[in-house]
């Protein structure tokens, strides 16, 4: 089996972030998540909160998230109120009541699109119901042009410990062509405020393969990112899921992909890894470099990848509770109306089998580049080397990984295309289905 995806970046590529594929989660299983929410939980499982803020100043041409641009202040305020009502309902169910949060994550869309006043109000309401004082990490995603000094101070005040800033590129021409709302002067200002206020962890996002990217631009962006010296640098290779503006334009106009091919993106990624490693960074997963591997934990990702409880709030957000996957309604108006009626806005769910949970945890941890066999033996009573022997042998022969009795380790070649290796571990009936 040839696993190498070397060709053009075609429509339909995606990141693997869960298993079984989202297309298998169904409305008919929603009753199962309602049952689980009303049963007494195994409270030894760590629990976190995900809060989705779906608003952005402008929709980037490459973005595949559920986002709404240019919404009026009234809709945003209505959303903030609905979120608070949703927290209220959730904090009273048996599976969540009285438990403490180990982590929280504000994702989007653009959480930093909310005003300081709205952020304070969300924090106040939430902490009266379910405090994040106990959380080891509270992450907050920001688009540079939505920040100001006062808002950055508010983020500190409400207890954010990890700031994630979507820089994407340090080239104004590229930012503009790709439809980003911000330009580099806003990046420099935002970064200064973040540094001055001071957060335990700062992450920046870059994308290898924005439309118009060249070797020189890319080298320059990586150098500038290194000069910023954040704790963490996440580098995405540009994907083209079906719902991006670029994909729609390609379909409508019948044009070829304007995104660099996979070989080029992997070469850029590899260059970035080498440049950043020379400056003291360590590769923490297929797409993350950290300054201090001893201290820089990404608590949210670690919990997500290990199947712990995540309470999903907000439109279209994904959660997992006591072994059951679920997702909220994914249209804004449906979400708002349902919550305003006093009902939980859950749209689809799936209770994975024990074997599916094993596959999920194995493939997600493989994205980190390194999987130990012992924890799987303890948790699932399964030897993963025997369980996945065929796929492991294939991928070893092709030079993507090595393994022995105690661990599976991706090679650099494997790290650069970790996502493309994962489908081989899926159950046969899930290999050809649509992912989302």
Residues lying near ligand SF4 in the complex (CB under 6 A): 56, 59-60, 63, 65, 67, 108-110, 143, 166
- Residue 59 binds: one of ligand SAM, ligand SF4, none (C-beta under 5 to 8 A by kind): ligand SF4
What is the side-by-side strand order in the sheet with 407-410? 370-372, 407-410, 401-403
For residue 349, what are the contacts with CB-CB under 8 A and spacing of at least 6? 25, 26, 29, 30, 32, 33, 324, 325, 326, 327
DSSP-assigned beta bridge partners for residue 50:
105, 312
Residue 141 or 309: which CB sits closer to ligand SF4?
141
Q: How far is the CB of 11 from ligand SAM (least distance, A)?
A: 11
**Which contiguous run of DSSP H or E holds residue 384?**
helix 384-387
Residue 174 or 350: which CB sits closer to ligand SAM?
174
Q: How far is the CB of 317 from ligand SAM (least distance, A)?
A: 12
- Residue 205 binds: one of ligand SAM, ligand SF4, none (C-beta under 5 to 8 A by kind): ligand SAM
Residue 141 or 309: which CB sits closer to ligand SAM?
141
Q: How far is the CB of 100 from ligand SAM (least distance, A)?
A: 27
Q: How far is the CB of 244 from ligand SAM (least distance, A)?
A: 6
Q: How far is the CB of 13 from ligand SAM (least distance, A)?
A: 8
Residue 145 or 414: which CB sits closer to ligand SF4?
145
- Residue 236 binds: one of ligand SF4, ligand SAM, none (C-beta under 5 to 8 A by kind): ligand SAM
Q: Taking a C-beta distance cutoff of 8 angstroms, is the pair 380, 358 a contact?
A: yes
Count other C-beta atoms under 10 Å from residue 73's C-beta: 9
In the chain, DSSP finds a helix count (H) and a strand count (E) of 17, 17
Q: Please give the torsion angle defined by the CA atoms of residues 64, 65, 66 and 68, in that order, rounded to the nearest 10 degrees.
A: -90
Report d(CA 155, CA 133) in Å as an integer. Answer: 14
Q: How far is the CB of 35 from ligand SAM (least distance, A)?
A: 32
Closest-CA residue to 8 (of 251, 236, 257, 211) = 257
- Residue 207 binds: one of ligand SAM, ligand SF4, none (C-beta under 5 to 8 A by kind): ligand SAM
Count other C-beta atoms under 10 Å from residue 165's C-beta: 23
The residues of the shown chain that bind ligand SAM, judged by CB under 6 A, are 56, 62-65, 107-110, 141, 143, 166, 168, 205, 207, 236, 238-239, 244
Residue 110 or 247: which CB sits closer to ligand SF4?
110
Closest-CA residue to 385 (of 396, 398, 373, 395) = 373
DSSP state of 224: H
Residue 169 or 356: which CB sits closer to ligand SAM?
169
For residue 330, what are the contacts with CB-CB under 8 A and spacing of at least 6? 66, 315, 316, 347
- Residue 21 binds: one of ligand SF4, ligand SAM, none (C-beta under 5 to 8 A by kind): none
- Residue 302 binds: one of ligand SF4, ligand SAM, none (C-beta under 5 to 8 A by kind): none
Residue 241 or 352: which CB sits closer to ligand SAM?
241
Report d(CA 297, CA 279) in Å as an integer. Answer: 20
Measured from each CB, the residue nearest to ligand SAM is: 166
Report d(CA 233, CA 235) in Å as an integer. Answer: 6
- Residue 239 binds: one of ligand SAM, ligand SF4, none (C-beta under 5 to 8 A by kind): ligand SAM
Residue 97 or 251: which CB sits closer to ligand SAM?
251
């Amino acid at each position: 089996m040839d696993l190498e995806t070397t060709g053009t970046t075609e429509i339909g590529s995606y990141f693997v972030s869960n298993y079984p594929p989202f297309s298998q989660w169904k409305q008919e299983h929603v009753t199962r998540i309602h049952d689980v929410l009303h049963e007494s939980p195994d409270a030894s499982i760590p629990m976190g909160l995900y809060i989705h803020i779906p608003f952005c100043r402008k929709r980037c041409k490459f973005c595949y998230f559920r986002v709404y641009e240019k919404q009026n202040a009234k809709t945003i305020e209505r959303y903030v109120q609905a979120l608070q009502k949703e927290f209220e309902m959730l904090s009273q169910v048996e599976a969540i009541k009285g438990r403490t949060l180990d982590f929280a994550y504000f994702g989007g869309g653009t959480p930093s699109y909310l005003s300081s006043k709205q952020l304070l109000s969300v924090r106040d309401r939430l902490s009266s119901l379910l405090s994040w004082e106990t959380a080891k990490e509270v992450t907050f995603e920001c688009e540079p042009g939505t920040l100001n000094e006062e808002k950055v101070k508010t983020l500190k005040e409400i207890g954010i410990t990890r700031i994630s800033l979507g820089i994407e590129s340090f080239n104004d021409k590229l930012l503009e062509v790709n439809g980003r709302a911000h330009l580099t002067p806003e990046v420099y200002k935002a970064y200064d405020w973040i540094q001055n206020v001071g957060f335990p962890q700062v992450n920046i996002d870059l994308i290898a393969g924005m439309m118009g990217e060249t070797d020189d631009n890319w080298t320059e962006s990586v150098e500038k990112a290194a000069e910023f010296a954040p704790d963490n640098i996440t580098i995405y290779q540009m994907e083209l899921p079906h719902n991006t503006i670029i994909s729609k334009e390609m379909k409508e106009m019948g044009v070829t992909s304007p995104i660099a091919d996979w070989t080029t993106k992997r070469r850029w990624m590899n260059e970035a890894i080498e440049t950043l490693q020379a400056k003291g960074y360590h590769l923490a997963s297929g797409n993350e470099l950290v300054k201090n591997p001893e201290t820089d934990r990404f608590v949210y990702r670690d919990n997500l990848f290990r199947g712990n409880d995540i309470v999903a709030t907000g439109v279209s957000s994904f959660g997992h509770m006591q072994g059951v996957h679920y997702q909220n309604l994914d249209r804004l108006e449906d979400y708002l109306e349902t919550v305003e009626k006093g009902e939980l806005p859950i749209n689809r769910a799936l209770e994975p089998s024990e074997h599916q949970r094993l596959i999920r945890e194995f493939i997600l941890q493989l994205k980190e580049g390194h999987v130990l066999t012992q924890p799987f033996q303890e948790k699932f009573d399964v030897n993963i080397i025997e369980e996945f022997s065929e796929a492991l042998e294939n991928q070893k022969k092709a030079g993507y990984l090595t393994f022995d009795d105690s661990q599976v380790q991706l090679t650099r070649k494997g790290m650069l295309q970790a996502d493309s290796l994962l489908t081989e571990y899926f159950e046969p009936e899930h290999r050809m289905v649509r992912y989302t």
